[in-house]
Amino acid sequence: MTEKEIKEFKEYQLTVSEEEHNLETRLDKFLASQIENTSRTKIKEAIKENHITVNGTNEKPSYNIEEGDIIDVRLPIPKPPEATPEEMELNIVYEDESLLVVNKQADMVVHPAYGNWTGTLVNGLLWHTDNLSEPEKGTIRPGIVHRLDKDTTGLLVVAKDDKTHRKLSSYFRTKEIERTYWAIVWGTPDEKEGTITGNIGRDPHNRQKMAVREGDKGKEAKTHYKVIEYFDHLSLLELKLETGRTHQIRVHLADNNLWVFGDPKYGGNSVRYGPNTGSRRQMFINLFKLLQRQCLHAKTLGFEHPVTGEDMQFDSELPADFVQVLGMLRQNCKPDQLYS
């Protein structure tokens, strides 16, 4: 890789905890498990090029990490290829000359990034706007204003020009966008309505996850919730974001022992409460296989149109797998059938 092919370097600093030291893990294997979008091969290349040090010293990939080791990592980021139009089926619920609103399906990355240069929402939107009839087409290039995780479904607003993009982005900064999510979670909050706070930053033990962190180790985050429906050891919540941190809902809920149902990254894809035996256990195993993702949906979206000033309000239907989980819970986990 030449310097011309490198856009920038991304730097990390990791400290090996006692728990991680007990794994007796090689340096290259440890870093590949801690840093997103990399591999042991890339880690080995970075070590060879002296981009990785342990306690300020160059070590071999086979070095066994020790408790307290401070590992500094500098990984080159290749310049991303230009996104290209791709024909795909998109659920566009609203569109005009300035913007569009799409109901994103599961298993779709919003924006091209390392490991997902194709098949993203942006690729599909480029094809859609390139195939508009004249004079609709013009010089439209879709601008992503906000994002949803790959396996979170629901509503997204997309700008069609720079002016609209700047205005919509300012709405998010000044909290003038109304967004509500629905989630099925393990457990039930102590109160029917409430607010969860806690700074969110990178998990120090797993760089591929986020966590609630103390002080300046994380960014301020606030999530409001309301219980919509109670089940046996589970509940359906409505959630509103006051801030928009990475994985905010999933992290805040998990930190309060309210794991999003089916979430493989934050522990929601196992039976967290109630008996884990017999037909009940098998039912949840079947539902996890059906979902293979977190049961989280961006249900409503509201904002003032940046051009016309019109009040725009959108409400989306729950996806089929979410509905199927709800149906099974209503049938088999009624709130009056609580276990002691």
Query: Token pair 């049961």 is at which residue?
Result: 295
The dihedral through the CA atoms of 301, 263, 269, 256 has a sign that is: negative
CA atoms of 259 and 272, how far apart (whole Å): 8
CA atoms of 153 and 162, how far apart (whole Å): 26
Return left, alpha or beta for 267; rule: phi > 0 is left, psi -120 to 50 is alpha, else beta: left
Is-contact 73 31, C-beta < 8 A? yes
Whole-number Cα distances in Å, 127 to 140, 155, 225? 11, 19, 37
* Structural tokens at position 213: 């962190």
Query: Token pair 């856009």 is at which residue?
Result: 7
Q: Which long-range contacts (CB under 8 A, 24 or more apart) does 195-202 make?
A: 195/222, 195/223, 195/224, 195/225, 196/222, 196/223, 196/224, 196/225, 196/252, 196/253, 196/255, 196/256, 197/221, 197/222, 197/223, 198/252, 198/255, 200/245, 200/246, 200/247, 200/248, 200/251, 200/252
Per-residue b or e along 60-85, where b marks 16 or more CB atoms closer than 10 Å to that residue's CB: ebebebeeebebebebbeeeeeebee
Catalytic residue check, 107: no
Catalytic residue among 28, 149, 161, 263: 149
Which active-site residues does the annotation give?
A: 149
